[in-house]
Amino acid sequence: MKIIVNGEEKEAQSALSVSEYVTALGFDPETVVVELDGQILNRVDYADRRLTEGCELELIRFIGGG
C-alpha cells in the first residue's frame, strides 16, 4: 500500500504497526516522535496503531549527543 512519510509517497506492507514500520527503517522507536494523520502518538500506542492505505506519517527522529 502507499503511505505518505514526511511528505513523500512510500510503499509499505499493509497493516504494519507504527512500531514495526519505524523499526524496519532501522530506528529505535523510542527515539522517534510520530504524528499519524495529524495526531501525535503516545509512546504506548506505537505497537497498536496500524498504518492504513494513504495515511500520513510524520517522523521526527532523534540522535544522541548534547
Interface residues toward other proteins, by CB under 8 A? 28, 30-33, 40, 42-43, 60-66
Between the CA of residue 23 and those of 19, 35, 56, 66, what are the distances in Å?
6, 16, 17, 24
Specify whether the CB–CB gap between 6 and 57 falls below 8 A: yes
Contact by Cβ (8 Å): 44, 29: no
Residue 10 vs 43, nearer CB to other proteins: 43
Cβ 33 to other proteins, closest distance in Å?
A: 5
- Provide the minimum distance between the beta carbon of 38 and other proteins in the complex, in angstroms, as a whole number: 11
Residue 19 beta carbon to other proteins: minimum distance, rounded to whole angstroms: 13
